[in-house]
Amino acid sequence: MYVSHLECSKCSAAYESEQVTQLCSCGGPLLVRYDLKRVKDAFRREALSSRPPTLWRYRELLPVREQEHVVSLGEGMTPLLPLERVGARVGIPRLLMKDEGLIPTGTFKARGAALAASRAKELGVTMSAMPTNGNAGGAWAAYCARAGIKAVIVMPKGAPAINRKEVAVAGAALYLVDGLISDAGKIIARAVAEYGWFDASTLKEPYRIEGKKTMGLELAEQLGWQVPDVILYPTGGGVGIIGIYKALRELQEIGWIGDKLPRLVAVQATGCAPIVRAWSERKGESEFWEGAHTVAFGITVPKALGDFLVLEAVYATNGCGVAVTDDEILRAQQMLAGAEGVFVCPEGAATLAAAVHLAREGWITAKEQVVLLNTGTGLKYPETVSVDAPVLQPGDSLPRV
């Protein structure tokens, strides 16, 4: 393992990596830092050709020390799909989508859960707790079950039913709150303080981001160690976009990609867009979004702990923030399914809706390569699709279509 230390993302204080540490004493999230000079000397791109197609192929840039502690369900190396029909329709011919709907548990949350559960197991954690909008809880429950770690999950009672069932079937203790993820987070914080449980909340431990960053590592490898011009990411807690930015910076440090970085776009819904509002006002942090509500439940995060890191990634890459309506999200979801055969989650569909906005404004041009991040399968959101199909009687003939 090439981890050198943990570093506070706010005050840069350094922490020992071989003990359980949640946040910096200043309250800032901790980031895993590596001895990238040693990584550069020891890790060659050619080595990847003989490794299994999972995220663990990048083990030199991951924080788990011993192979015996790896908790895996085969996560990683999701497809990068060309969207030729949709791209032609919206004026972005070089449109691609990285489809995280095919990963274990059906969403990109499996990446973070795999790394966080593995490292928690390695550090001797036996009891954990997490607030969630749904998918993270389902993934965390599954990976904790595999790791032998007990899990307590609190989610809003409005979360998709499938997420509640995922948590329950994996044996985690599930509680529902009559409120938002911010309310669930307060309940978890009180329990962690009282019982001393490991807090697996977004960015309150340093390892979930290391799993999410593998999306950036995979993208670079799938594109022949080049980077696209634009990446659009559905942003709630923001760990994915933070992780992708971290991955690309580390790849630059070890010389695997050049100086160019993609413009990162934080996509939110108009019903909950604190980061987009902060970006439009050129602020370094967001403010709590009152009355948050959107069909894209996974990005209903009124105030993200790592909002300043999301904004840093957007500013540093000359990116932007875009908010789209629920109607636009549902139309984009139908367009992707009807034209390309991919049933994406509403959060992923939001990235297409945002790309349409940016193409119309000229911010994205027809010459640019653009990647949409679909963070999960649409099968987890059956309520987003209505079906009105005629009923036939035995012996009826089908009408001409």
DSSP state for residue 104 in the 8-state scheme: G
> Is residue 30 within 8 Å of 23, Cβ to Cβ?
yes
Residue 258 in any domain: the answer is yes
Per-residue confidence of the chain (401 residues) as pLDDT tens digits? Answer: 899 999 999 999 999 999 999 999 999 999 999 999 999 999 999 999 999 999 999 999 999 999 999 999 999 999 999 999 999 999 999 999 999 999 999 999 999 999 999 999 999 999 999 999 999 999 999 999 999 999 999 999 999 899 999 999 999 999 999 999 999 999 999 999 999 999 999 999 999 999 999 999 999 999 999 999 999 999 999 999 999 999 999 999 999 999 999 999 999 999 999 999 999 999 999 999 999 999 999 999 999 999 999 999 999 999 999 999 999 999 999 999 999 999 999 999 999 999 999 999 999 999 999 999 999 999 999 999 989 999 999 999 998 88
Identify the domain containing residue 297 by its residue range: 80-107+209-384
How many C-beta atoms surround the C-beta of residue 182 within 10 A?
A: 18
Compute the distance between CA of residue 146 and CA of residue 169 in angstroms, rounded to an integer: 13
Is the four-CA dihedral 44, 47, 48, 54 of positive or negative sign? Answer: negative
Distances (CA, A) of 251 to 15, 67, 127: 23, 23, 34
Compute the distance between CA of residue 179 and CA of residue 41 in angstroms, rounded to an integer: 50
Residue with tokens 């992707």: 336
Nearest to 161 by CA among 297, 293, 268: 297
Q: What is the pLDDT of residue 12?
A: 97
Does the model's pTM come out above 0.75?
A: yes
Helix (H/G/I), strand (E/B), else coil: 64: coil
Residue 27 in any domain: the answer is no
Residue with tokens 């788990």: 64
Q: Phi then psi for 113, rounded to 5 degrees?
A: -65, -40
Residue 330 in any domain: the answer is yes
Q: Which residues pair with 154 in a beta bridge?
A: 131, 175
Which segments of 123-204 does DSSP mark as H helices, in order? 135-147, 161-169, 181-195
Strand boundaries in 147-276, DSSP class E: 150-156, 173-177, 198-199, 230-234, 263-269
Q: What is the pLDDT of residue 22?
A: 95
Q: What is the pLDDT of residue 82?
A: 98
Compute the distance between CA of residue 284 and CA of residue 376 in angstroms, rounded to an integer: 29
DSSP state for residue 76 in the 8-state scheme: -
User: Which H or E run contains 349?
Assistant: helix 346-361
Helix (H/G/I), strand (E/B), else coil: 147: helix
Nearest to 249 by CA among 99, 32, 101: 32
Compute the distance between CA of residue 330 and CA of residue 49 in angstroms, rounded to an integer: 39
User: C-alpha 114: how far from its chain's center?
Assistant: 13
Q: What is the pLDDT of residue 401?
A: 84
Compute the distance between CA of residue 7 and CA of residue 321 in angstroms, rounded to an integer: 27
Is the four-CA dihedral 30, 34, 120, 109 of positive or negative sign? Answer: positive
**Number of domains within the chain:** 1
Residue 150 in any domain: the answer is no
Distances (CA, A) of 304 to 120, 341, 382: 23, 33, 27
Compute the distance between CA of residue 85 and CA of residue 332 in angstroms, rounded to an integer: 13
Residue 89 in any domain: the answer is yes
Compute the distance between CA of residue 212 and CA of residue 76 in angstroms, rounded to an integer: 10
Residue 345 in any domain: the answer is yes
Q: What is the pLDDT of residue 251?
A: 98
Residue 327 in any domain: the answer is yes
Q: Which residues pair with 306 in a beta bridge?
A: none
Question: Tell me, what CATH number does 337's domain have?
Answer: 3.40.50.1100
Residue 357 in any domain: the answer is yes
